[in-house]
Amino acid sequence: MGKTILVSTKKHKYSIIIDFNLFNKPLSLSFLKKGDSVMIVTNKIIFSLYFKKIYNQFNNIGVRINHVLIPDGEKYKTLMTANIIFTALLQNLHNRDTTLIALGGGVIGDITGFVASSYQRGVKFIQIPTTLLAQVDSSVGGKTAVNHILGKNMIGSFYQPRIVLINLSCLDTLSKREFTAGLAEVIKYGIIFDKNFFSWLEHNIIKLFNLDKKTILYCIKKCCELKSKIIYEDEYEKNKRALLNLGHTYGHAIESELGYGKWLHGEAVSVGIVIASLTSKKLNLMNNKDVIRIINLLKKCNLPIQSPQNMNIKQYFKHIYRDKKINKNQINIVIPVKIGKVIIYKNIPEKIISDAINENKNLIF
């Protein structure tokens, strides 16, 4: 039942292995050999659920295994937490031949990849994502980062993993809130690239919530295929890959202003997608029918659609002007023009953005 997707860039090729009960099956890790060293990065919750099975997988290869636990949550995706991993690597005498293993959600994947990209100027790492959001998005493509108090993901690098191992059975232990937050990134793919996938989601959300095996496998495989295609075309986000940031300019502003972890990333992106859609409507690009379809699907997933009431326009702009897509002080935002197509709209007037945020605050649905 499992699937394998090949990710190709100019310099790297690696596989995404997607299956159920993956930790109970022999893993293909030919780049590791007896006597190598690995460092597993995880948190207390994931450690209690999956560490033993992962340990056994690598112990069977005959590698030396250490692990390090980091605090759980977006607010800990910092240079200070990265230093905990650096210290563990040095204390356990890991060298350039070591492999880091990110066992967890998006925070663990991002920070482990960042450490791997910089420890002794670069060591191998493996992504083992355990949340829906990480499985469909953050574990694939080599974006690594930590947050700064003034901006999300502002310190990072592009650094590809050696393999991505997606165990769909991990979703059985995921909280409803975390699963729902991951659906925002799933819906994002339909809006950006594939109107038929968006329609499929409209008709299959209940099956996804019920963790129907065929539905889950198709959904995650589809998202990974869509992202892999973009990475092949634009690994370093020079143009087309930036389209994957739909909803993120506004979403990151919410996360940064409220404090990392108050809203989950997918929750903030959901609102960001709505505001981006309203921005497009005010630019006379997106029709109201498509805007309503997007809002209805997000609502069907129990995702938030309205901006935090305690966040004002000035607070949004404070973070928007730090966004990575800002160029020469011009505001450039990814907006949908219809379901299945988005663009980067350059030099959006502040009034359009203000009006879109205000309309979002006063949405009645």
Angle between helices 176-193 and 288-300 (to 10 degrees): 160
**3-class DSSP state of 1:** coil
| 167 labelled catalytic | no
Cα(255)–Cα(313) distance, integer angstroms: 15
| 314 labelled catalytic | no
Which DSSP string do the residues of 300-346 spell out, in sequence order? HTT---S--TT--HHHHHHHHTTSTT-BTTB--EEEEEETTEEEEE-
Catalytic-role residue among 74, 178, 235, 237 = 237
Cα(75)–Cα(126) distance, integer angstroms: 23
Query: Which residues are bridge partners to 157 per DSSP?
Result: 144
| 185 labelled catalytic | yes
Catalytic-role residue among 152, 221, 252, 293 = 252
Catalytic-role residue among 77, 94, 143, 221 = 143
**3-class DSSP state of 21:** coil
Q: Two tokens at 307?
A: 């901006």
| 143 labelled catalytic | yes
Catalytic-role residue among 94, 162, 222, 265 = 265
Cα(265)–Cα(82) distance, integer angstroms: 20
| 121 labelled catalytic | yes
Query: Which residues are bridge partners to 42 per DSSP?
Result: 69
| 222 labelled catalytic | no
Catalytic-role residue among 185, 235, 255, 267 = 185
Backbone φ, ψ for residue 203 (5° rounding): -95, -10
| 13 labelled catalytic | no
Cα(173)–Cα(221) distance, integer angstroms: 20
Q: Two tokens at 23?
A: 């930790």
Catalytic-role residue among 162, 188, 221, 241 = 241
Q: How many helices (H) and strands (E) does the chain have?
A: 12, 11
Nearest to 135 by CA among 173, 101, 99, 179: 179
| 267 labelled catalytic | no
Catalytic-role residue among 162, 221, 248, 281 = 248
Cα 44 to its chain centre, rounded Å, is 21
Annotated catalytic residues are 121, 143, 185, 227, 237, 241, 245, 248, 252, 265
